[in-house]
Amino acid sequence: MEKEIRAIILGAGKGTRMKSSVPKVLHEIFSKPLISWVLDAINRLPYESESIVVIGHGAHDVEEYLNTNYKYVKTTLQKEQLGTGHAVSQALPILHDFRGEVIITCGDTPLITTETLNRLIKYHQNNNSDLTVLTTMFENPFGYGRIIRSTKGEVMRIVEEKDATESQKEIKEVNTGVYCLNWSKIRKAFSELKNNNSQGEYYLTDIIKWARDNSYTVLGCSVKDNSETFGINSRMDLAKATSIMKNRHLKALMEKGVTIVDPTTTYISPETTIEADTIVYPNTYIEGKNKIAKFCKIGPMARLRGNCDIAEGVKIGNFVELKNAKIAKNSNVCHLSYVGDAIIGSNVNIGAGTIFANYNSITKEKKQSKLLDNVSIGSNSVIVAPVEIKQNAFVAAQSCITKDIEANSLAMNRSPQKEVKNWVINKKGENK
């Protein structure tokens, strides 16, 4: 680990255009809140880091989520939304004694990568900058703040769209809202920002002018992929970000030797790893963290809901759902089955329509089932957790298994088949 850094994440906005009672930063992509994608990108940096999230609208829900899921995250409340500069100032008491670098970013930018944040910090350090702005290029930069540079390449100021001259509007380099600061030098700016503008707000972008006025070095570090800085303001934005994220990951998987038969209908979380020579068939949805080994076949129309560990040569059939399942080599989970909270051995065959009943709705508990090597489960069976089915055992079709099964045994739990002779002929006669 290198030296410490701190991150301030702006997450107080209401997100009016989301038309939702859920705080904007808690809206999800691949079942993971927007704020988590940002925090996890920061936490993967090669520094000892601590993040401060500025909360506002839905503060209780955001704080509860962060306290439950993150150890090195603090929150600070922005009671009134008086602008982005005012939001950052709420972190001043927490960072009173800090003297290192601080990065500032938004909690609604889930596509930002660790690599880009690290490059920003390195650029800032290597060039002895006091304040570095992450910039990017847009062919159509309408709506973005333009980066005004000096002839030496230093950032002079950021001009918002409404304030830009016609020549300034031609500038394609824009502000992304991500900054790296020498905190001991720039922190004072947040106590001296003015709100003499039409909105009556304290703008974060004004720290550029403040730094220049105080003879500090202000530089710009550009990121080539402008999609990384895409912010979520509406449901349409959420869908667009999801598409960008999934296509980015599918491309990376295919480049590593995974076959994605139809990328347009396949969704795989970036937190899922898949090894080469595995085939993922159309209409498959994989969310959360999962590990899938080589030579597997997944789908079509399969769903993995997270925490699944699938070994080499496993087949997951169509309309199969998995959650919190570990499956060893060369096992099959056939179509129309649900496997949840289970450990499956190698060379196991789970017949079509098999259900693992893992949840007790009265106690709210989930229990685990274990199937050891070479077990065979007949179609339309129910495995009621917690049970253990030992090696080479066979479960007859349409059985409801509630007890452990010994090795090499046959288990069945169903009513005997009955046959009523000539029932159809007799019924037709009654109807006449």
Q: Are residues 92 and 53 in the same domain?
A: yes
> Are β-strands 285-286 and 303-304 bridged in parallel, bridged antiparallel, or unpaired?
parallel
What is the mean predicted confidence (pLDDT) over 407-421?
A: 92
Q: Are residues 290 and 381 in the same domain?
A: yes
Q: Measured between alpha carbons, how far is residue 390 from residues 141, 161, 366, 408, 412 in Å? A: 63, 69, 21, 8, 15
Q: Are residues 218 and 73 in the same domain?
A: yes
- Rounded Cα distance between 11 and 33, Å, is 12
Q: Are residues 306 and 404 in the same domain?
A: yes
Query: 94-133 pLDDT, tens per residue?
Result: 999 999 999 999 999 999 999 999 999 999 999 999 999 9
- Give yes or no for residue 431 having a pLDDT over 90: no
- Give yes or no for residue 254 having a pLDDT over 60: yes
- DSSP reduced 3-state for 395: strand
Q: Are residues 298 and 195 in the same domain?
A: no
What is the band of 415 on the pLDDT scale with cuts at 50, 70, 90?
Answer: confident
Four-point Cα dihedral 233, 141, 189, 154, nearest 10: 150
| pTM for the model | 0.92
Q: Are residues 270 and 225 in the same domain?
A: no
Q: Are residues 215 and 255 in the same domain?
A: no
Query: 229-243 pLDDT, tens per residue?
Result: 999 999 999 999 999
DSSP state of 71: S
Q: Are residues 176 and 296 in the same domain?
A: no
Q: Where are the alpha helices (DSSP H) in 34-161?
A: 34-43, 59-69, 84-89, 114-126
Active-site residue, from 57, 86, 249, 335: 335
Q: Are residues 255 and 223 in the same domain?
A: no
Query: What residues make up the domain containing 384?
Result: 249-411
- Residue 353's CATH number: 2.160.10.10
What is the mean predicted confidence (pLDDT) over 76-87?
A: 95
- Catalytic, 335? Answer yes
Instruction: Kindly calculate the radius of gyration of the chain based on its CA atoms and give it in whole angstroms.
Output: 28
Mean pLDDT of the chain: 96
Tokens of 71: 């150890």
Residue 238 placed within a domain: no
The predicted pLDDT at position 2 comes to: 60
